[in-house]
Structure 1
Amino acid sequence: MTTNRISLTELERGTPFEQRHIGPDQAAQAKMLAHIGFGSLDELTAAAVPDVIKSAEALDLPQGRTEAEVLDELRGLADRNRVLSSMIGLGYYGTFTPPVILRNVMENPAWYTAYTPYQPEISQGRLEALLNFQTMVADLTGLPTSGASLLDEGTAAAEAMALARRVGKVKKGVFLVDADCLPQTVAVIETRAEPTGVEVVVADLSDGIPAEIAERGVFGVLLQYPGASGAVRDPRALIEQAHELGAIVTVAADLLALTLLTSPGELGADIAVGTTQRFGVPMGFGGPHAGFMAVREKFARSLPGRLVGVSVDADGNKAYRLALQTREQHIRREKATSNICTAQVLLAVMAGMYAVYHGPEGLAGIARRTHRYATVLAEGLRAGGIEVLHGTYFDTLTARVPGRAAEIVAAAREAGVNLRHVDADLVGIACDETTGRAQLTAVLGAFGVQGDIEQLDAAAGDALPESLLRSDDYLAHPVFHQYRSETAMLRYLRTLADRDYALDRGMIPLGSCTMKLNATTEMEPVTWPQFGALHPFAPVDQAQGYLTLIQELEERLALVTGYDKVSLQPNAGSQGELAGLLAVRAYHRANGDEQRTVCLIPSSAHGTNAASAVMAGMKVVVVKTGEDGEVDADDLHAKIEQYRDELAVLMVTYPSTHGVFEEHITQICAAVHDAGGQVYVDGANLNALVGVAEPGKFGGDVSHLNLHKTFCIPHGGGGPGVGPVGVRAHLAPYLPNHPLQPTAGPETGVGPISAAPWGSAGILPISWAYVRLMGGEGLKRATQVAVLSANYIAKRLEPHYPVLYTGPGGLVAHECIIDVRPLTKATGVSIDDVAKRLIDYGFHAPTMSFPVAGTLMIEPTESEDLAELDRFCDAMIAIRAEIEKVGTGEWDKEDNPLRNAPHTAASLTGEWTHPYTREEAVHPAGVDAAAKYWPPVRRIDGAFGDRNLVCSCPPLEDYDG
C-alpha cells in the first residue's frame, strides 16, 4: 500500500492563515464567480476595478506565516519590552484587571466583536453595561449627565473646550488652562485650538485668575484635580471667580481620587473630564482607554459623542438605546463643533464592570490603600531630608532634589521602578493599585533614604485636606452592590452578552463598517503583560519591542497604501481625518498660501468629513453627487474654478460612499492638483483596495485608514479604533508629534492629536499580526473575495430589490446598496420594518438609510462563508415575499410580521390576536428553531427616548427579587 508522498517542507508549511480568514473556499468561490459570470478572481478584479487605478506590482510584503510562527514572532517582540513597576503617573497607572472581567469581557468575542448599538433591540446587554459606566461617571463626578465614553483624557478636555465655546455666554476671550494640568492634555488642547482661532493661555491659577487675563475675557477654564504635580487644592474660590467672568469651568478629575474627595459637581464645575484607565484597563503603552465627560443637565443635548438613555419598547417595557442617535456630525455637518462619532465601548464596559465588581466600598478601599502608600513614601522622604513640595495630595508626590533628579530616576530604574523626571531638580512619584512595599523600599533607596515601612506607616498621617473629604453617597444603585462573588459576576456578564448580537452569533452585513474576522491569534497578544503593562512615557529603551512593531506596521501600511509615511497616533478615524487635514493646512501655510482654506466635500460624504474640516480651520464647500452616485464632475470643476486660489483640499471617499469604483478618480485628483489643492482620500473603504490599488499612487496626497475595519481590530461594541494617517513625502513634516516623546513624530509636526504618543498602541499587535499572517498575496485575495461576495449578494438580490448604484460592467465594489423606497411607497413597509424583521431571521441589519434614505447598504466582507451569505440572501428574499403579502392585502398593513418585528419570546405568550401565526412570527423559513436568537425587547420607541433623556443605571425594579 502506498500513499501520496508529501515533502517535509510542505508539511512544515501548515495551513495558510488566509484559508482561516477568508470564508469561501475555492469551490465556493468558483460557484459564486459562476453565478456572477466570471471565471476567476483576477477576471472579476479586471472587470470591476478601473485600469487607471490598478497597482502595477504585487505588494512587496513578507510571505504570510502560520499562526504558530506569528505568535512566536510576537513573543520575541514582547520579550524586547522591559516592564518595570511604573510610578510615572500623569494619567496612566498600574491596575489589576479582575480575571473574571479579563476573560469574560476583554477576551470574549461576544463583547469585542459586537458593532455600535445602532440596532438597540439586539444590543441591550452592552447598552446596560454602558449605562453602568455612565452612572459610575455621573455619580463620582457629581454631575447628572455622562456620555458613553470619549477617546482619551486629552481629547475629552479638548472637546470640553469646544463645548464651553459653543454653550457659554462669553463668545470671545481666551481658554484658560491651569499650569498644573497634565502636559499631554495641554498639548492636545493647543493643537485643537490653534486652527479654530482659540487662544489658549496656560497660567498658574493657584492664587486665582490674574487680573490681566480676566480683563481679556475668559470663555472657559480647565483645572486638574488632583494636579499633575500631585497637589490637591480647593478650587471653589477659583471656580466662583471664573463663573463671575461668565466662563464655563471644566475639571479634569481622577475617578479613583473622587471616591475620597469632594466631587467636581459639588465644587461648582460645569463639566468634568478624565480617563477611566485605572479602573481595570491595562496601560497598553497609551491606549485604548475610555475617556469620559459629564456635564450639568442644561448641557446634555450638546454633549459630544454617544449618550445611552432609557426608552420603551412596543409593549411599554423599559429598553435602552443611544439617545440623540443621529449625532451632530450628520445633522449639523459643517456647523458641528465635534467630529467624535465613536466611543471606546469595550474599555468603558471594562471600567464600568470594575466598579460593579468592587462597588463603592471596594473602590474607596483601593483609593485609601493607594493614598496610604503615598503618605508612607512622603514620610520616608521627609525623614530622610528630602523636600516634598505639597502637603496635600492623593497618590502623587513631587520631590525637590536640586541637580539630582536624573541620578535618582536612574537609580530607581536600576531597582526596577520608573519615576517621572520632571526637570533637573524635580522627581514625580505616583502610587497606584499595584504599588506595594517593595516599590516603596526601592524608591526610598533611589533617593538614598533608609526607612522601615512599618515605622513609617505608624508615623504617617493622611494628606487629604479635611475641607475636601467626600461626604455624599455614590454608586448607590443595586448593580454596584450585588455582584461581589465571581460566580455572580460571571453570570451577570453572561446574561448581558446573551442579550446581544455579535459576530460570534452570525453575520453583521453592515455597509461602510467592515465587520470581518477578528482572529484569536491576532487578539491574544493584546493581554500579554509585556504589551499591556507598559506606560506610554516609559523610557524608549524599555519599549524596543513596541517600537519595532510600530515601525514595521507603519512601513507596511505605507507600502499597502502607496504613501511615504504613516502616523499611528490617531485613535479613531475621525482623529485621522483631523490629523490629515491639519497636515494639509500646515503645508499650505509653510508655502505662504494661508488663503487656501476651502475644503471641497461631496454631499454624500460621511458627516465627520465636514466636521473635521471645520475643526482644521477650513471652510466647507459642498460638491453635488450625481444620480449615479458619483461626484458630479461638472459641479466639481465649477467649484474648483470658483475657489481656485483658495482651494486647500478635496475630501473624497474611494471607492465611493455608494459602493462603486468611480472611473474618473484620477482625473478628479489631477484637476485639484492643477488648481494647487491637495486630495484627501478617505480610507474608510480601503478594504476594497488592499493589494489592488494604492491611493497614494492614483492621486491621493493623504488618507486615514480604519484599522478597526480593514486591518481586523474589532469594533468592540463601538470602539476601540485606530485611525492612522498616511501621507506623501511633502506632507510628512506635518504629521502629529508629541511633547513627551520626541521619537513619536517630526519636530515640525502639528502637535499631538491624541494624549499618548502612539495613540492606542496596545491594540496595534492585532493589525501587525493580520498583515504578517496574510502576506501580500493573502491581503490581495481578501480584497478580491470581499468584492466577489458583495457582487454575489447584489446579483442574488437584484431580482427582488433594485441595486441602486453599480460601476463598470454593472459591478459593485465591496458593498452594495439596495433600494427599499419603491416597496415602501407601494406597500407602506418601511426600511425600519425590514431591518427589524431581519432580527427574527437571526441577522443584524445592514446599514440603514446611509448614504441614501430608505436604502440598505450591505457589506459581507471576505470572512463570511457561502452558507452564511446564502442564509442572508434567503432571508432577504423571504422578507421580500412577506412584503408582497402586505402589498396584496393578504396581511394587514398595520398588523403583520414586519411591522411588529422583532418578536420576543414573551410576545408569544397569552392570547394571540395577530392575522399571522406564532410560527410565522418567530420561525420563518430558514430559521433553525434550535439555534434561534431571541431579542430581549420588542421595537424601541426612538422618539420617546430623545424626548426623555435619562442617564442612569438600569431601573431599580429590574433588580427586584
Structure 2
Amino acid sequence: MTRDLPRYHAAVWDEPVVLELGRPGRRGFLAPEPEPDVRADVDALLPPGVRREAPPALPELSEFEVQRHYLHLAQMTLGMMGINLFGTCTMKYNPRVNERVTARPELAEVHPGQPEETLQGVLEVVHRFERILRELSGMERFVFQPGGGADAAYTHACITRAYHASRGELERRTEVITTIQTHPCSAATAAAAGFDVITLPLGPDGYPTLESLKAAVSDRTAALMVGNPDDMGIYNPEIKQWVEAVHEAGGLCFYDHANFNGVMTRIRARELGFDACMYMLHKTFAGPKGGGGPAVGAYGCAEHLVPFLPRPLVEERDGRYGLDHDGPQSIGRVREYWGNVPVVVKAYSWVRALGAEGLRQAADLSVIANNYMETRLLEIPGVTKSHPQIAAHRLEMTRYSLEQVTEETGIDVHDIQNRMVDYGVDAPWLAHEPWLIPQPITPEPGELWSKEDIDTWIDVLAAVVQEAHDDPERVRTAPHNQAIHQVDASGVDDPDQWATTWRAHLRKRAAA
C-alpha cells in the first residue's frame, strides 16, 4: 500500500419509521385556524366525494424529534459522500450555491402557467442555456422536458416515428439499429415506440465494424441510436461513415451523449452529421442525481426535426421571452410544462462558472485522470481491462474485469463491492446488463477527484483483492462497518412481504 487506508465505521441507529415515532397530540408547529372566508372558499371548491372522512394518519412529533429522526437516517445513508468513481454516470460535485439559488422564491414559488410577462427571468435563463447547448452540439433547438437520458431516447424514438410518418414511410421503416455497448435504453425505447431493434456486436477494435453496420442498414432503417465513446472509453473513429451510411438509406441518427464529459468542446454532434443528440444535465452538467427525481435529458435536434419537438419552445423576440405552443406536427408533451427547470438553472450556473475554457480543461482532466487510474489499476494482481490488445489510451472510462480474482478466490465483484464500502469509499459501478466483460467494474474519475482521492480508492480495491486471497470469508460476509449488513433479497418478489404504504404495512403486519 502506498498510503494508510481510511478507518471507517458507519453510524448505526435502531431507528423506527417516522410513523412509529411520537405520540398523539404532539406538534412541532401549530397552524392558525383558517379564516371563515378561506374555509368557505375551500369547502366550495372541494367536491364532497374527495373529502376525507377522517384526518390523515400523519406522524405527530415535535420539531426536534423530526430533526433528530432525519439526522439519524442521513448518518446511515451517506452514500455518494465518500470517494465515488461511479462509472457511466459522471458523478460530480453539485455546488451548494446552486441549491440556494434555486430555492429562492423567484424560482421556487413561480408557476409555469402564470403570465409570461411575470416569468421573464426564468425564461431568459432557459433560453440562454439552450443557446449554450446549441453551441456545444451544433443543433438547432433543445427542449428540457425529458426526465432523464432514457426519456430523451424515447423522445427521439417518437420523433423518428413522426418524421417518417410525415413522409409516408413509417410503415416501411420499422428498424432501429444500435450496438451492444450503447446504453440499453436506446434499444428499449425504440422497442417501446414500436420499432424492431437490430443490435450490432463489438468488433476486434472495441466497437462494431463498419461492415456490420452496412449489412444491417436497408430501406427499412428508421434510425441509428448510438453512444460514442462507449463505456469502455473507446471512441469509434468511423462514426462519420456510420452516419453517412444511415443517411444514404434514409434513416435518422441519434447521438446518446451520456459519455460527453471527456469530449466536451471537442465533439459537436451536428458536425459529425447526427440529426439529434441528448445531454444529461444531472450528470455531465453537475446537476444533482438521485432516485430518478431531479433528472433532465436535454434533447436537441437539427432544423428538419424541430417541427416534431415537444412544445412549448422558449423564444426571444425583441429582448422579451415567450413560449411558442404552435406545433401542428409536434409529438406532444413528454413531461409537464417545460421540464425540470431548477436543474436547468443549476446546469446553466455550472457552465457559466467554468466558461468554454473551463469545460475544455474539465474534459482534459477527466481523460488524464482516467489514464492515470488505468495505469495503477492494472498493477493490481488479477485486474485486467476490456480489449487488452488495444494499447491506445482510453477516453474517460475503461471497463475492467476481476474474473481472475474470482477464479482464484471464489470472491465475485458483488462481494468486492460490499467490502470496499467498509473503508468509507463508495463501491464501484459494475456494468449494464448483459455483461460483455466477465466480473466487470467501470470506475470513472471525472474532473472532480484529486490524485490523492483516486489513489485512496485504488488502494482500497487493492487491499480488498488481497483480502480475497488471504481471508475470503471476511470479504464474502461484508459489509462489516456499515449501518446494515447484507440485505436479504429473498422476499423482493413476494408482495406479502413488502408494502409501499403505511396502511398496507399495518394490514400485512397484522395478518402475519
Q: What letter corresponds to residue 854 of structure 1 in structure 2? A: Q
Distance 1:777 1:744, change over 3 A: farther
Match of 2:274 in 1: 700
Match of 1:660 in 2: 234
Could you list the per-position Cα deviations for residues 792-832 of structure 1 after superposition, in whole angstroms to 9, with x for gaps in the alignment? 11111012210114797521211111101222122211111
Offset of residue 474 of structure 1: 4.9
CA contact (8 A) 2:279 2:298 kept: yes
The match for 1:814 among 377, 381, 396 is 396
CA distance in 1, matches of 2:461, 2:282: 27
Match of 2:510 in 1: none
Match of 1:766 in 2: 346
The match for 2:84 among 508, 511, 527 is 508
Offset of residue 357 of structure 1: 10
Matched, 1:844 2:416: no
The match for 2:377 among 786, 797, 801 is 797
CA distance in 2, matches of 1:668, 1:371: 69
CA distance in 2, matches of 1:823, 1:626: 26
Q: What letter corresponds to residue 737 of structure 1 in structure 2? A: R
Give the root-mean-square deviation of aligned CA atoms: 3.4
CA contact (8 A) 2:370 2:397 kept: yes
Matched, 1:566 2:142: yes
The secondary structure found in structure 2 opposite 1:547 is helix
The secondary structure found in structure 2 opposite 1:681 is strand
Q: What letter corresponds to residue 394 of structure 2 in structure 1? A: V
Matched, 1:950 2:493: no
Match of 2:194 in 1: 617
The match for 1:754 among 335, 347, 358 is 335
Q: What letter corresponds to residue 550 of structure 1 in structure 2? A: V
The secondary structure found in structure 2 opposite 1:604 is coil
CA contact (8 A) 1:651 1:679 kept: yes
Q: What letter corresponds to residue 222 of structure 2 in structure 1? A: A
Distance 1:124 1:752, change over 3 A: farther
CA distance in 2, matches of 1:847, 1:788: 20
The secondary structure found in structure 1 opposite 2:135 is helix
Offset of residue 584 of structure 1: 2.2
The match for 1:495 among 31, 49, 72 is 72
Aligned length, in residue pairs: 480
Offset of residue 621 of structure 1: 2.1
CA distance in 1, matches of 2:342, 2:414: 38
CA distance in 2, matches of 1:745, 1:767: 27
Offset of residue 551 of structure 1: 0.6
Structure 2 unmatched ranges of 5 or more:
1-8, 315-321, 507-512
Distance 1:941 1:376, change over 3 A: closer
CA contact (8 A) 2:11 2:483 kept: no
Matches within 5 A, 1:189-588: 369=34, 373=38, 375-376=40-41, 393-394=45-46, 464=48, 469-471=51-53, 474-475=56-57, 480-482=58-60, 484-503=61-80, 505-588=81-164
Structure with higher Rg: it is: 1
The secondary structure found in structure 2 opposite 1:789 is helix
Matched, 1:635 2:212: yes
Offset of residue 618 of structure 1: 2.0
The match for 1:937 among 460, 484, 492 is 484
CA distance in 2, matches of 1:702, 1:950: 42
The secondary structure found in structure 2 opposite 1:703 is strand
Could you list the per-position Cα deviations for residues 483-539 of structure 1 after superposition, in whole angstroms to 9, with x for gaps in the alignment? x22211111111111011244x32211111111111122332110000110111111
Matched, 1:691 2:241: no
Structure 1 unmatched ranges of 5 or more:
1-120, 136-354, 379-391, 395-462, 886-890, 905-934, 957-961
CA distance in 1, matches of 2:348, 2:127: 10
CA contact (8 A) 2:84 2:427 kept: yes
CA distance in 2, matches of 1:735, 1:371: 47
CA contact (8 A) 1:501 1:844 kept: no
Q: What letter corresponds to residue 754 of structure 1 in structure 2? A: R
Offset of residue 679 of structure 1: 1.0
Offset of residue 738 of structure 1: 4.5
CA contact (8 A) 2:184 2:432 kept: no
Distance 1:631 1:704, change over 3 A: same
Distance 1:523 1:481, change over 3 A: closer
CA distance in 2, matches of 1:676, 1:700: 13
TM-score (norm 2): 0.85
Offset of residue 686 of structure 1: 1.3
CA distance in 2, matches of 1:587, 1:494: 51
CA contact (8 A) 1:805 1:816 kept: no
Distance 1:613 1:358, change over 3 A: farther
The match for 1:859 among 426, 444, 452 is 444
The secondary structure found in structure 2 opposite 1:620 is strand
Q: What letter corresponds to residue 774 of structure 1 in structure 2? A: L
CA distance in 2, matches of 1:568, 1:357: 42
The match for 2:255 among 663, 667, 681 is 681
CA distance in 1, matches of 2:68, 2:372: 41
CA contact (8 A) 1:624 1:636 kept: no
